[in-house]
Amino acid sequence: MPGSNSYFLNFRFMYQISKFLSLPFDLLQNTREKVLLIGACAAFTILFINLYTPFNIDQWEPDQGFSQFLRLSGFGVIGGVFLAFSQLLVKPLLVKGNTRIIHFVYWVLCEVTLLALLFHVLYGSGDSGFFREYFISFKYTFLGLLIPYTLALCFIWIFRKKEEEKNEPKSPVFSSSLIHFKDEYGNNRLALKLSSILFIEAADNYSTIYYADDGTVKKEILRNSLKGLSEQLKDLPIKRCHRSYLVNTQNVKMVKKTSGKVSLILECTTTVVPVSRKFIPEFDHLFA
């Protein structure tokens, strides 16, 4: 039935709107973003009103030149001071914790309502009645704030995203070339692909390097201490986990934690590599 379909579409639309308004709103949560909003709204209003004189605002008073510039600029100054009072003083006292889009909408409507009332008190003539003049003041205030408020929020959102991308830890990108292992004298003795390295086990002044080759585990012995190899490989995901072991964290297939003890099992092998207590924090990310 056509009526039922229309009712369903309306209900679905209202549900989507309600869902959208319930989303978290995390902009304007710090002083820097609030100051940016206040400055953008004040500056835009001053420039826009003086350049374009919307709503025939230049004809509201019989003034010209610099005196008119001051009068028109007063709208932007008063609006900026009002927003500073609202965002920096009142909002932190009344709004605590996380907010949602619906809360932001309510706050902006309250700001427009009160700012329009302030403009009406300062500039209203009263000739057309309070409610008529206040409605006009509300309309002009809403339209005057709509563009700078929206632009400021877009800029804040873009700036926030760039900051997050800048501060986001980047996963190290390793070359596909071979990883070279040096002996105790600094001479290259062995080269393996990072993806094939499983773990390295200490054996007195030597180290045994275990690696995968076509699904089987092979090993090579290198005359160098585990400490020496740890220094060589510090920029790679090959980490010290025990006084006798280094492991390639990219090839860990199982992490076991029982009775406060942590152990690792690597790809292609059932060898259990222990993790000493002091090295456990280095492997916390494997439990995330």
Question: How confident is the model at residue 13, as a pLDDT?
Answer: 79
Domain with CATH 2.40.50.1020 in the chain: 179-287
Q: Which of 74-78, 121-125, 139-143 has the least mean pLDDT?
A: 121-125
Q: Which of 57-61, 105-109, 150-154 has the least mean pLDDT?
A: 57-61
Tokens of 160: 């926030």
Crossing angle of helices 2-21 and 101-123, in 10° steps, is 80
Q: Is a pLDDT exceeding 90 seen at residue 161?
A: no
Q: Kindly report, residue by residue over 200-218, the tens digit of the pLDDT.
A: 999 888 999 999 998 899 9
Q: Kindly report, residue by residue over 50-66, the tens digit of the pLDDT.
A: 998 887 888 878 888 89
Q: Is a pLDDT exceeding 60 seen at residue 176?
A: no
Question: How confident is the model at residue 59, as a pLDDT?
Answer: 83
Average pLDDT value for residue range 244-262 = 89
Q: What is the DSSP string of 80-149?
A: HHHHHIIIIIIHHHH--S-EEHHHHHHHHHHHHHHHHHHHHHHH---TT-HHHHHHHHHHHHHHHHHHHH
Residue 78's alpha-carbon distances to 55, 115, 154, 175, in angstroms, are 18, 9, 23, 59
Say how far apart CA 44 and CA 83 lie, in whole Å: 14
Alpha helix segments (H runs only) across the chain: 2-21, 31-52, 65-84, 91-94, 101-123, 130-167, 226-232
Q: Is the pTM for the entire model greater than 0.75?
A: no
Question: How confident is the model at residue 287, as a pLDDT?
Answer: 63
Q: Is a pLDDT exceeding 80 seen at residue 274?
A: yes
Say how far apart CA 92 and CA 110 lie, in whole Å: 15
Say how far apart CA 181 and CA 190 lie, in whole Å: 5
Average pLDDT value for residue range 116-120 = 91
Which of 211, 188, 186 has its CA nearest to residue 200? Answer: 211
Question: How confident is the model at residue 175, as a pLDDT?
Answer: 47
Question: How confident is the model at residue 144, as a pLDDT?
Answer: 86
Q: Do β-strands 216-222 and 24-25 pair in parallel, antiparallel, or remain unpaired?
A: unpaired
> Which contiguous run of DSSP H or E holds residue 287?
none
> Which contiguous run of DSSP H or E holds residue 284?
none
Average pLDDT value for residue range 126-151 = 87
Average pLDDT value for residue range 15-37 = 88
Say how far apart CA 113 and CA 57 lie, in whole Å: 20
Q: Which of 37-51, 120-134, 247-261 has the least mean pLDDT?
A: 120-134
CATH 2.40.50.1020 fits 179-287, yes or no: yes
Please answer whether residues 95 and 107 qualify as being in contact, where contact means their C-beta atoms are separated by less than 8 angstroms.
Answer: yes
Q: Is a pLDDT exceeding 70 seen at residue 21?
A: yes
Average pLDDT value for residue range 185-201 = 92
**pLDDT > 90: what percent of the chain?**
44
Question: How confident is the model at residue 174, as a pLDDT?
Answer: 52
Average pLDDT value for residue range 98-112 = 91
Unique residue bearing structure tokens 């309306």? 10
Half-sphere exposure of 148 (CA within 13 A, CB side): 22
**How does residue 129 score in pLDDT terms, banded at 50, 70 and 90?**
confident
Say how far apart CA 109 and CA 18 lie, in whole Å: 17
Question: How confident is the model at residue 58, as a pLDDT?
Answer: 80
Max Cα–Cα distance, the chain, nearest Å: 99
Higher pLDDT, 10 or 229: 229
Q: Which of 4-13, 89-98, 132-141, 202-211 has the least mean pLDDT?
A: 4-13
Say how far apart CA 49 and CA 148 lie, in whole Å: 12
Say how far apart CA 66 and CA 63 lie, in whole Å: 9
